Structure 1
Amino acid sequence: MENQKAIKLIDKILNNLDKTGINTDTLIDDIKELRTYALEAQIPLVVKVLRLTCEHIESTESFMIPILNDEPIEEDGTIEEGEVAPIESLKYLIALIKNLNNKMNIADLKEYRDLLNSY
């Protein structure tokens, strides 16, 4: 994302996730605001992923999509197969939006879109 306000908002979302976890009240508002920047920049994939993310968080009160191409890591450093790490996965998704010039980020966003659609 090129917009400096959007990048600051992404940093704010990531910091809030570190501090308070998935606090649905502020998180959803921040994601909706970030979505408006994606709309202005005309980035349909990001707009869709952020909309689906908001809807998912609103319905589950969490983020139940596992981290892509990686197994979730426990706090003690062990890996539990099939387990979802909501905060880490959501942080990864939001961080992907920061650099849309990276083809791997676009591919991962498409995978998140598909996972969110099929959830």
Structure 2
Amino acid sequence: MENKKAIKLVDKIVADLDNTGINSDALIEDLKSLREYALQEEVPLVVKVLRYTYEHIEEHNSFLVPIPDDEPIEDEEAANESTAGSDPVESLKYLVSLTKSLNNKMNISDLREYRDALNNF
């Protein structure tokens, strides 16, 4: 995102996740604020991903979506094993940090994967 306040908020969210983990109330408010910046910048993918993210955290009191793999997993059993070993805080930190640089095609690709995973959860 271009907005300096949005970038500072991304940094704050990542720092808070490092310090306190997934503290639902404060985290959800910060994600909603970050979503407002995405709305202002008219980035629909980020708006949707952030909404899905805070709704997921509200429902599950955690972030249960793993970091997207570089290579798609064909075997369903292997996919379940990779999901079981994921760290919710690291995955959420990665998702939030993707929003800082939307000019990077890999970031957009990973945001799409998060959107799809959250939508299908």
Do both proteins adopt the same fold according to a TM-score greater than 0.5, normalized to the shorter chain? Answer: yes
The ranges of structure 1 where at least 4 consecutive aligned residues each deviate by more than 3 angstroms after the TM superposition are none
Structure with larger RCO (C-alpha < 8 A, sep 6+): 2
Structure with the larger helix share: 2
2:26 equivalent to 1:22: no
> What letter corresponds to residue 43 of structure 2 in structure 1?
I
Could you state the TM-score of these two structures normalised by the residue count of structure 1?
A: 0.90
Query: Equivalent residues in 2 for 1:66-105 (5 A)?
Result: 66-69=66-69, 81=82, 82-105=84-107
Query: Equivalent residues in 2 for 1:5-84 (5 A)?
Result: 5-69=5-69, 81=82, 82-84=84-86
User: Structure 1: how far apart are the matches of 2:97 and 2:105?
Assistant: 14
Q: Aligned Cα RMSD in Å?
A: 1.1
Q: Which runs of 5+ in 1 are unaligned?
A: 71-79
Tell me the matched-pair count. Answer: 110
Shift of residue 28, structure 1, vs aligned partner:
0.1
Q: Which runs of 5+ in 2 are unaligned?
A: 71-80
| Seq. identity, % | 64
> What letter corresponds to residue 17 of structure 1 in structure 2?
L
Shift of residue 68, structure 1, vs aligned partner:
1.1
